[in-house]
Amino acid sequence: MLKRPGRGSSDSLSDKLYKHRSLLLLVSVPLLLLTMVFYVMPSQTPIQIHSSKTSYAVIFDAGSSGSRVHVFCFDHNLNLLPIGKDLELFLQTKPGLSSYASNPRSAALSLSDLLHKAEAAVPKDLRPFTPVRVGATAGLRALGVDASNRILQAVRDLLKQSSSLSSQPDAVTVIDGTQEGSFQWVTINYLLGNLGKEYSDTVGVVDLGGGSVQMAYAISEADAAKAPKLSDGEDIYVRKMSLKGTNYNLYVHSYLHYGLLAARAEILKVSEDSGNPCILEGYNGSYNYGGESFKASSSGSSIDGCRRVATKALKVNEDTCTHMKCTFGGVWNGGGGDGQRNLFVASFFFDRAAEAGFVNAKEPVAKVHPGDFEEAAKRACQTKLEDAKSTYPHVDKDNLPYLCMDLVYQYTLLVDGFGIDPWQEITLVKKVKYNNALVEAAWPLGSAIEAVSSLN
């Protein structure tokens, strides 16, 4: 028997909508909100997707001898990506910021061309998200607080007015020596693929700049626990670092006044106003550094005489060591160990070795011994200034009078200062091979890794 249709079956559509109005409202409001979100998202999506794949960093190394800019590009795993045909953009100019002590604006403008070229290497949509750092090193440290602060503020103003890169006020600063040394250690071990390994599988680094020299190497927990306690205001000896899931105790110390250019002044101070045995015979002039002028005339260059003067300048024989083991000037040496077994020596060490002719300047890496610097020094110290240009055609004329001094100092620093055996093999490094490309072995890459990591 058929049932008669009920009255509800004849409800109109409008009646049904009215009857279920609460349910419809509950469903439609979230849908409306989702629609609005998707409508707004497209304008932001390209930047979010792009920046999650690649990140850039622009790092200025404002050293005492010149200013250099490095531009790096990383993928999301912090692997370097090419910029054009190379794995970094690297440009430089001379002189350094410290040469403009009395003219901060000119100091800042000396970076202008480097800044524009570096910015052009970064995709336009990523520039607001790309950190730019300016790390001034020993040259500005030597100027004093007032002069260096005026220069740094002029550089901050330049970045703010002339660049769309992401610049924070504290990203333009004089980096302390321990930062410089630790960044250099990170750079070289990153490029060698050592980060994430045991500390004993990393390499130690000595970086000889113009105004300061840094030593850095990973040490054991036991040696880190023995680190001397320093007074307030002094750099700590051990920096704790966590890199690629591995914790490191990094011994690092920076010796201000003992970079290659600053050490010349220290060596000339020893002889005061008399002739100096480290100056090539035939030269009589003056040496300007850090706003001071020093008499630089030869007393007849002699490797033995120069060694005595260099050792005195380094304060090697002064009984100022209050720790178990010291380098020079009473500085704790970190205890030695496996992290120092393989030593990579950078910057002016490579440059002078190439100019003196005992390594190939076209090769980025060379295996040598500290004793090779002494052998090269013997030859240089016997050369008169008038013959030096033809004997050493690749040495800048301003550096020629000091070639004996530089080579003797480098040998003395390694052997007497740092206690390295004269015939221990060390690696002179200019660039490091990374993914079939060559990358500058300098601290800015370590700074870039930290800058990009802090964004994530």
pLDDT above 70: residue 188: yes
**pLDDT tops 70 at residue 50:** no
- CA angle at residue 122 from 120 to 128, to 5 degrees? 110
Residue range 314-326: average pLDDT? 74
CA-nearest of 74, 64, 112 to 91 is 112
In the predicted model, what is the mean pLDDT of residues 376-403?
96
Q: What span, in angstroms and rounded, lies between the C-alpha atoms of 250 and 236?
A: 10
- The stretch 264-278 carries a mean pLDDT of 94
Question: Between the CA of residue 426 and those of 62, 180, 345, 362, what are the distances in Å?
Answer: 27, 21, 7, 18
Per-residue confidence at 453, pLDDT binned at 50, 70, 90? Answer: confident
Instruction: For residue 76, name the pLDDT band (cuts at 50, 70, 90).
Output: confident
Among the ranges given (55-59, 156-160, 431-435), the one the predictor scored with the smallest mean pLDDT: 431-435
Structure confidence at residue 368 (pLDDT): 98
Residue indicated by tokens 């990383």: 74
Answer yes or no: is pLDDT of 178 > 90.
no
Can you tell me the distance from the alpha carbon of 420 to that of 415, in angstroms, rounded to the nearest whole number?
5
Average pLDDT, the chain: 86
State the pLDDT confidence band at 40, using cuts at 50, 70 and 90. Answer: very low
Examine the pLDDT at 371 and tell me if it is beyond 60: yes
Q: State mean pLDDT over 150-154.
A: 96
Question: What are the tens digits of pLDDT across the range 95-125?
Answer: 999 999 999 999 999 999 999 999 999 999 9
What local confidence, expressed as pLDDT, does residue 31 receive? 47
Residue 217's closest CA among 6, 41, 419? 419
Q: Is 180 a catalytic residue?
A: yes
Domains and CATH numbers, the chain: 52-175+435-453 (3.30.420.40), 186-424 (3.30.420.150)
* Predicted TM-score (pTM) of this structure: 0.77
Q: State the pLDDT at residue 44.
A: 31
Contacting residues for 445 by C-beta, under 8 A, at least 6 apart: 59, 70, 72, 88, 183, 186, 187, 190, 191, 439
CA nearest 447: which of 210, 131, 11?
A: 131
pLDDT of residue 103: 96
Q: Please tell me the predicted confidence (pLDDT) of residue 438.
A: 85
Provide, rounded to the nearest whole percent, the portion of the chain with pLDDT above 90.
66
Q: Which residue has the tokens 């700074």?
A: 447
Q: Which helix (H) or strand (E) holds 55?
A: strand 55-62
CA-to-CA distance for 366 and 349, rounded, in angstroms?
A: 11
- 3-class SS at 336? coil
Report residue 105 as tokens.
């604006």
pLDDT at 456 over 70: no
Instruction: Please say if the pLDDT value at position 80 is more than 60.
Output: yes
pLDDT of residue 319: 62
pLDDT of the residue at 11: 55
Amino acid 36: pLDDT? 42
pLDDT of residue 173: 94
pLDDT band at 446 (very low <50, low <70, confident <90, very high): very high
Burial class (CB in 10 A: 0-12, 13-18, 19+), 329: middle
Digit-coded pLDDT (tens) for 211-236:
889 999 999 999 999 898 776 656 68
Query: Alpha carbon of 146 to those of 133, 157, 212, 272: distances in Å?
Result: 21, 17, 20, 28
Question: Residue 64 in contact with residue 142, Cβ under 8 Å?
Answer: yes
Q: Detail the DSSP E strand segments found in 143-237.
A: 172-174, 204-208, 212-219
Residue 21 pLDDT exceeds 60? no
pLDDT of 20 strictly over 70 = no
Pairing of strands 132-136, 172-174: parallel
- Structure tokens given for 165: 């890169």
Q: How confident is the model at residue 323 (pLDDT cuts 50, 70, 90)?
A: low
Rounded-to-integer distance, Cα 80 and Cα 94, Å:
28
**Which of these is catalytic: 180, 281, 355, 440?**
180
Cβ neighbours for 316, distance < 8 A, ≥ 6 positions apart: 328, 412, 416, 417
Alpha-carbon span 121 to 111, nearest angstrom: 16
Cβ-count burial of 153 within 10 angstroms (0-12 exposed, 13-18 middle, 19+ buried)?
middle
For range 448-456, the mean pLDDT? 80
Lowest mean pLDDT among 41-55, 206-220, 316-330, 331-345: 41-55
pLDDT reported for residue 349: 97
In 209-337, the DSSP E strands lie at 212-219, 238-243, 246-256, 284-289, 292-297
- 277-298 pLDDT per residue, tens: 999 999 999 999 988 999 999 9
On the 0-12 / 13-18 / 19+ scale of CB atoms within 10 A, 403 is buried
| 238-258 as b/e: b if 16+ CB within 10 A | bbebebeeeebbbbbbbbbbb
Q: What is the pLDDT of residue 316?
A: 82
pLDDT tens digits, 64-75 = 889 999 999 999
pLDDT computed for residue 23 by the predictor: 53
Distance CA 362, CA 370 (A): 21
Cα distance between the two ends of the chain = 74
Do residues 358 and 368 touch, judged by C-beta distance below 8 A? yes
pLDDT, greater one: 60 or 437: 60
Whether omega for the bond prior to residue 95 falls within 30 degrees of 0, making it cis, is yes
Q: Is the pLDDT of residue 197 over 60?
A: yes
Q: What gap in Å lies between CA 30 and CA 40, rounded to an integer?
A: 16
43 pLDDT higher than 50: no
Q: Cα–Cα distance between 267 and 402 in angstroms, integer?
A: 11
- Separation between Cα atoms, residue 33 and residue 47, nearest integer Å: 23
